[in-house]
Chain A
Amino acid sequence: MRATSLIAAALTAALIGLSPASLSPAAAEDGHGSQPPRQSWSYAGVFGRFDQAQLQRGFQVYKEVCSACHSMRLVSFRNLAEEGGPGYSAAQVKALAATYQVKDGPNDSGEMFERPGRPADRFPAPFPNDQAAAAANGGKAPPDFSVLAKARTFERGFPWFVFDALPFTGYSEQGVDYIHALLVGYEDPPKGTEVPDGTHYNQYFPGHLIAMPKPISDGQVTYPKNDKGESVVPETVDQYAKDVAAFMAWAAEPHMMARKALGLRVILFLIVLSGLLYYVKKKIWADVGGEVHGLQPELHKTY
C-alpha cells in the first residue's frame, strides 16, 4: 500500500519539479527591481507593536517632506490621537489640525470658504485633484499614501510564499520593506543604462526608472532630541525611510495592534475549546466502542 502511494507522490513531484526549474523563462530579474532587503520592524509577527516614537518621527517626515506632493486622503487628524497609533494627545491634534486651512462650504450665501482644520477633518491634499497633481509632477500623479503600505509588495516566489503564511516564519511586511528600499535605492545608473529626462534610476523600482526624484537626504529632517540634547536616532535617509514606512504601515492598518491582540485571545480560546471538544467527542464515541482514528485507517487493514 505504502509503495503505491510513494509512486503517486513521486509522479506528482516529478510533474511539479519539471516546471519551475527547467521550463521557467530566463530569470525575471531584468525589467524588475531587485528584491528589497528585509528590515526588522517592531510591528512584525504575532506580538508586533508599533513604536509610538517611530510613528511620530514618521509623521514628522511625512509632514515636512512627503506631504508636499503625496496626499493621505483617508487619514483624519483625529486618527493621530486614537489608540494603537502615534499617541498624540487630543489637545495636540486639535492644535495641529488648526494649523491647516480646510475648504468647507457652501455657506449661506452659497460660497466655499476656508476655515482652520478640526480633528474630524481629513489630511488636506497638496493638489486639488488628480489632474492637477499629474500636471505639476511631469504627467504622473504621486500616489496617495493612505493604504500604500498595503498596496505595494514584491514576490518572494516558491517556496518562500508558503513560509510567509505560517506561524513563526510568517511575514507580511513586504510593503514597508519595499518603501524603505525605494527611498534608499537611488543610485547612479549602471554604465550603458539610459535614463530619460524626467526619470531617475532606482535599484528597487520595478523597471528601475522612477519619475520621483530622490525625495530626501541625510539631515533634512531634524528629529526631537532627548533630555540631554542628544539625537535619539541617526538623522539619515535610512532612518527616515524606516520611520516614514512605519508611519505608513500604521496609516494603512490603524487597528493592527487591536487586531493582533484580539487574535491571540481568539486563537488561544479556540485551542482550549477544541481540546475540550476532543475529549467530549472521545467520551461520547466510547459508548459505541470508540471512534475510528486516523484519516485512512482502512488502508492499514487487510481482509
Chain B
Amino acid sequence: MANTTAAAPAGAAPQEGTRRDFLFLATGAGLAVGAGAVAWPFVSSMAPDAATIAAGAPIEVDLSPISDGQIINVFWRGKLIFVRKLTGKEITDMKAVPLADLADKATFDSRVKSGHDQWLVVYGNCTHLGCVPIGHQGNYEGWACPCHGSQFDAVGRVRRGPAPINLPIPPYAFQSDTKLRIGEEGGKAAA
C-alpha cells in the first residue's frame, strides 16, 4: 500500500506536495474500491443460488385426506409447515380466548383465512430457537416444544415459555375447498 503519510521532500514547492497528496489519495481510493469490488462476488455467491430459488416455487397440498383434528407436515423451501384441521370445539375455545391472555396478541380471525375457519397453516418451528413443537400436547390444545418448554395453542399462538411470538403463517391461498397452494398469496409469488 502506498505510504500516504510520506512527507514531501524538504524544499519542494507546496504545490508539488499537494499534487503528490492527491495522487496518493486517488491511488489509495482506487485500491480500496478494487478490494471492495473483489469482495462482492464472494458475498453474493453465498446467497441462495438460482436453482435453489427456482426450486422454491409454490407447492400444492390436497386437503381431502385430512380428518378433523389431524395435523400434517409439508415442506416448502425446505421449511416445515403444519397444516391442521381444527375441530369445532377447538374453534369455539380459540375464539373465546381473551386477547389480554396472549403474549403476542392475535385474534382467531387473523390466524385463519376467512371462510376457511377449519384450516390452520403455520410454520412448524418454535419461534424461540427453532425446535419442532409436538402436536396435541401442552395445556392449550396445541403444541408443546420439547426443547425449552414453550407452549402454543390450537391456532399456534404462544401461551407459555420463552418463545417471543406466535408461529408465523406462510403465504398461502385456497385454490378450492380441498386444495391449498403454499408459497403464493393473492396471485403473487412469495419473495
Contact = CB atoms under 8 A, between A and B. Distances in A.
Interface string B47-59: 0001100110100
B6 A287 contact: yes
A283 interface: yes
A269 B57 contact: no
B165 to A, nearest CB: 32
Contact of B26 (A118, A119, A270, A276): A276
A47 B57 CA distance: 36
A171 B60 CA distance: 49
Interface string B1-40: 0110010010000000000100110110011001001000
A277 B26 CA distance: 10
Contacts of B9: 286-287
Contacts, number: 41
Given A273-B27, A273-B34, A276-B30, A284 B57 contact: no
B23 A276 contact: yes
B54 A78 contact: yes
Give the interface size class of chain B.
Answer: 10 to 19
A277 B20 contact: no
Contacts of B55: 120
A76 interface: yes
Interface string B143-176: 0000000000000000000000000000000000
A120 B57 contact: yes
Contact of B2 (A76, A272, A284, A286): A284
A303 interface: no
Contacts of B31: 273
Nearest to B41: A262
Contacts of A287: 6, 9
Interface in A261-277: 269-270, 272-273, 276-277
Tell me the interface secondary structure of chain A in the complex: helix
A286 B37 CA distance: 31
A280 B24 contact: yes
Interface in A99-123: 118-120
A34 B20 CA distance: 60
A276 B34 contact: no
B30 A272 contact: yes
A279 interface: yes
Contacts of A269: 30, 34, 37
Given A119-B54, A279-B23, 19 more contacts: A76-B51, A76-B54, A120-B51, A120-B54, A120-B55, A269-B30, A269-B37, A272-B30, A273-B27, A273-B30, A273-B31, A273-B34, A276-B23, A276-B26, A280-B2, A280-B23, A283-B24, A284-B6, A287-B6
Interface of B: 2-3, 6, 9, 20, 23-24, 26-27, 30-31, 34, 37, 50-51, 54-55, 57
28 contacts: A76-B51, A76-B54, A78-B50, A82-B50, A118-B57, A119-B54, A119-B57, A120-B51, A120-B57, A269-B30, A269-B34, A270-B34, A273-B30, A273-B31, A273-B34, A276-B23, A276-B26, A276-B27, A276-B30, A277-B2, A279-B23, A280-B24, A280-B27, A283-B20, A283-B23, A284-B3, A286-B9, A287-B6
